[in-house]
Amino acid sequence: LLNALIAHGIGHIDAVEKTEMRDLVLRGGPWTEKECHDILDYCDSDVRALEKLLPAMLPGIDLPRALYRGRYMAAVARMEHNGVPIDRDALDRFEAARDAIVDELIAETDRAYGVYEGRTFKLERFRAYLQREAIPWPHDANGRPILDKDTFHRMEREYPQIRELAQLRSLLGENRAKRLPVGLDGRNRTLLSPFGSSTGRNQPSTTNAIFGRSAWCRSFIKPAPGHGVAYIDWGQQEVGIAAALSGDPALKEAYESGDPYLAFGKQAGKIPEDGTKETHKAERDRFKACVLAVQYGMGDKSLAESAGITAFEARDLLRMHHETYPRFWEWSQAAVDDAFLLGYIQTVFGWRIHVSPGHNPRSLANFPMQANGAEMLRLACCLATENSIKVCAPVHDAVLIEAPLDCLDEHVARMRQYMAEASRFVLDGFELRTDVDIVRYPDRYVDERGKTTWNRIMALVDKQEQQIVDLRIIDTP
């Protein structure tokens, strides 16, 4: 606000004073009577500044789109107010046993590796383990093993014996995060930070939002008595967007088949027409890796690393994608060329980023899928909140809604209608399908990727609580 006022030559509150007042508000009450008056004056100064700023900026504002984005802000306010229902009892039990769980996990897992000293991961011990197992681990320029999450994830596919160590490190990373913020009403709330990314997507805190945590943590989500929640997502949203916007008939056919990865394999002649996800899982996984790599602008080297295949195999997959979907590739390259020529790239609803000569062409190629996906989610959330659907959280290409059990199915059906309508608006009539996972009280939400870890964690919680009970019995005279 201050920068906009300065740019238009409009008088404004001093930056130091604004910072002091903001800090006063964030400090929380109780405030003195003078502080209360000062806070109200501060808020009033912002409103009056906007009143002066609007006429100055109005000639350059794309008003219909600006009002649409303001409409989404109303939906954001409602979603932030709703929050996500959390099982506070389970969360409290986990927090109480957290330290003991960490020690138990390390002791249990490290027997096979011998790389920890207490809670400290020892690099020299890890080097010795790699040497014993003859694992050619990636190193940085200083000769130190690279220990980031992506490297562990990539290496565990090739060397399954390190999987449990990779999971342990991931769990310990989650353990270092602060407690998930949950209100007295059992709701997890966080700022959604709308328009926070260059593609216009929301960017909520990864530590404060339940959907920013590891997959196993999502099992803390549990509807209140008499209620249920539903996780509804667009199936292969980015593939559908690419098919619709590019107009590639083969890609549209692949999307509408319900399994674009299997369809790609069939269209490329590498999977028989009667092949299924079960009969040709390995082949489908490779074609899936290729489709995802294309969406993120990966080359053959990155695809080879992420899919655990050779560079030759990666190049062959990319070649098949080019040959199977030529119109998509023409459209994608044209979008990048236009961006550099015009100096910007934008969505169908006008969300725009400005492009410089040094811009990464791969991010520009991915922009139409990501940014138009964001447009789709915004519109769906507007339609839902304006029609009394309780949206607890938007999640990239999905939403979590909540409703009383007697009307949950009806709310799910309507939410899916709004999501279909939003896709048609953004994609000029092309409709994307949705998938739904419904959870009714007393059940809890389960992300299959984290199910095993959740069960393991809660078993350790039970064990720790039983040990405490046993000690109390022993200590009782």
Q: Does an H or E element contain 403, and which?
A: strand 398-404
pLDDT at 198 over 80: yes
Looking at mean pLDDT, say which of 293-297, 396-400, 461-465 comes out highest.
396-400
Q: Give the Cα separation of 55 and 78 in Å (integer).
A: 29
pLDDT at 129: 94
Confidence of residue 477 (pLDDT cuts 50, 70, 90): low
pLDDT at 468: 81
The enclosing H or E element of 394 equals strand 390-395
For the chain, the distance separating the N- and C-terminal CA atoms, rounded to the nearest angstrom, is: 67
User: 313 to each of 45, 137, 151, 307, 403, how far by Cα in Å?
Assistant: 62, 22, 21, 10, 48
Residue-level pLDDT at 184 = 93
> How far is Cα 264 from Cα 313, in angstroms, rounded to an integer?
16
The pLDDT of residue 470 is above 80: no
State yes or no: pLDDT of 348 exceeds 90. Answer: yes
- Beta-bridge partner residues of 227: 404
pTM of the model: 0.86
**pLDDT given at position 369:** 96
* 142 exposure class (CB count in 10 Å sphere: 0-12, 13-18, 19+): exposed
**pLDDT higher than threshold 90 for residue 439:** yes
In this structure, are strands 352-354 and 120-121 parallel, antiparallel, or unpaired? unpaired
How sure is the predictor about 345, in pLDDT bands with cuts at 50, 70 and 90?
very high
Give me the count of residues in the chain: 477
Tokens standing for 297? Answer: 């602008």
Percent of the chain scored above 90 by pLDDT?
74
| Cβ atoms of 387 and 407 closer than 8 Å | no
User: What's the DSSP call for residue 197?
Assistant: S
Token pair 């100096």 is at which residue? 343
Q: What angle do CA 413, 414, 415 make, to 5 degrees?
A: 95
